[in-house]
């Protein structure tokens, strides 16, 4: 069943678990994620990010995902992740996405506030939820001050700004920068858990952890205990699909249809493990 981000994160926050967002770019990934959710009776968030649209565009994603979601017995959010441009976010809303992220974290604080307030009003008019990002989650491979473990914390979320931000913009979820990064990590991330605790004490809005792939199981537990209600995963399932394909080829697969079962199975197993770790199993 199709639900909004606000609906699933409200329960997660109350009960102290997290819901996973698993970005997908094709039918095999989508089937694996939704099958894992149904088998584990877990709420789940599926969709894709603007940076991944070269693999599957917004209308194609909606055509693939919406029928699967509507037929499913578990609550599923169709989420447009890291929307960087106004027009693409609006397109996602018009195509039936029940949640969008408008990522203006690369802008000034003033522009981020203004843009997200405007988009929150539009998303809510569509009956959808909206996520924003305050601070900036960089790239694990960037090798810059934005990468995980960097010494410059100027890109991290400031707790006092978080309160101002959610009160002004009216967003439904806030992605925070506490030391995670997108993509593969070149070195072990150092998460600022004290900062996360301060943000949680400051605001009641559900908090989101980006750059989840590559964190340890204990990292996830620590973050969920301190208020994270949504965790984004892509690299882990992307790499899982590659492992499945490699295993099939080593077993003698000679065509694409021989690869698909192993690809799907490996992604599904990876998603199921994350759901167990996040505590969302049985919460649907």
Average pLDDT of span 129-158:
67
C-alpha to C-alpha distances, 76 to 61, 97, 120, 190, nearest whole angstrom: 14, 11, 20, 31
pLDDT at 189: 73
When comparing pLDDT for 34 and 140, which is higher? 34
The answer to whether 266 is a known ligand-binding residue is: no
Mean confidence (pLDDT) of the chain: 91
The answer to whether 224 is a known ligand-binding residue is: no
The answer to whether 212 is a known ligand-binding residue is: yes
The answer to whether 273 is a known ligand-binding residue is: no
Whether 94 contacts 115, CB under 8 Å: no
The answer to whether 26 is a known ligand-binding residue is: no
Minimum mean pLDDT range among 4-13, 52-61, 196-205, 207-216: 207-216
Of 89, 83, 73, 86, which is closest to residue 34 (Cα–Cα)?
Answer: 73
pLDDT at 95: 98
The answer to whether 232 is a known ligand-binding residue is: yes
- What CATH homologous superfamily does 2-278 map to? Aldolase class I (3.20.20.70)
Torsion, CA 61, CA 65, CA 66, CA 71, rounded to 10: 170
The answer to whether 234 is a known ligand-binding residue is: yes
Average pLDDT of span 227-242:
95
For 126, the token pair is: 């569509």
Residue 138 has pLDDT above 90, yes or no: no
Minimum mean pLDDT range among 62-76, 121-135, 189-203: 189-203
21-44 pLDDT, tens per residue? 999 999 999 999 999 999 999 999
* Residue 204 known to be catalytic: no
Q: Please list, in sequence order, all residues whose beta carbon lies within 8 angstroms of the beta carbon of residue 110, skipping any fewer than 6 positions away.
A: none
The answer to whether 233 is a known ligand-binding residue is: yes
Residue 141 has pLDDT above 50, yes or no: no
Is residue 136 very low, low, confident or very high in pLDDT (cuts 50, 70, 90)?
confident
pLDDT at 59: 96
Q: Please list, in sequence order, all residues whose beta carbon lies within 8 angstroms of the beta carbon of residue 275, skipping any fewer than 6 positions away.
A: 20, 36, 37, 40, 42, 44, 281
Residue 277 has pLDDT above 90, yes or no: yes
Residue 182 has pLDDT above 70, yes or no: no
- Which residue is catalytic, options 11, 63, 81, 204? 81
pLDDT at 145: 41
70-108 pLDDT, tens per residue? 999 999 999 999 999 999 999 999 999 999 999 999 899
Residue 282 burial (CB count, 10 A): 11
Minimum mean pLDDT range among 57-71, 195-209, 213-227, 260-274: 213-227
For 50, the token pair is: 């603007």
What is the percent of the chain where pLDDT is above 90? 85
When comparing pLDDT for 47 and 155, which is higher? 47
């Amino acid at each position: 069943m199709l639900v909004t981000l606000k609906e699933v994160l409200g329960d997660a926050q109350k009960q102290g678990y997290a819901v996973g967002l698993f970005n997908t770019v094709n039918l095999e990934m989508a089937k694996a994620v939704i099958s894992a959710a149904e088998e584990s009776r877990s709420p789940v968030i599926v969709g894709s990010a603007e940076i991944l649209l070269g693999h599957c565009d917004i209308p194609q994603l909606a055509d693939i995902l919406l029928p699967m979601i509507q037929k499913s017995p578990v609550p599923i959010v169709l989420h447009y992740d890291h929307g960087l441009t106004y027009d693409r976010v609006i397109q996602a809303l018009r195509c039936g996405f029940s949640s969008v992220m408008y990522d203006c974290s690369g802008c000034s604080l003033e522009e981020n506030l203004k843009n997200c307030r405007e988009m929150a009003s539009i998303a809510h008019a569509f009956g959808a939820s909206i996520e924003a990002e305050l601070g900036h989650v960089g790239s694990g491979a960037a090798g810059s001050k934005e990468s995980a473990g960097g010494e410059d914390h100027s890109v991290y979320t400031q707790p006092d700004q978080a309160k101002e931000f959610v009160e002004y913009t009216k967003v439904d979820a806030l992605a925070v920068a506490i030391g995670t990064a997108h993509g593969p990590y070149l070195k072990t991330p150092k998460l600022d858990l004290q900062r996360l605790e301060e943000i949680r004490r400051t605001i009641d809005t559900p908090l989101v952890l980006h750059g989840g792939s590559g964190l340890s199981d204990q990292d996830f537990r620590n973050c969920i205990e301190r208020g994270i209600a949504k965790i984004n995963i892509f690299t882990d399932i992307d790499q899982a699909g590659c492992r499945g394909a490699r295993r099939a080829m080593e077993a003698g697969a000679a065509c694409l249809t021989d690869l698909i079962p192993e690809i799907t199975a490996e992604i599904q197993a990876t998603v199921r493990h994350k759901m167990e770790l996040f505590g969302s199993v049985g919460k649907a």
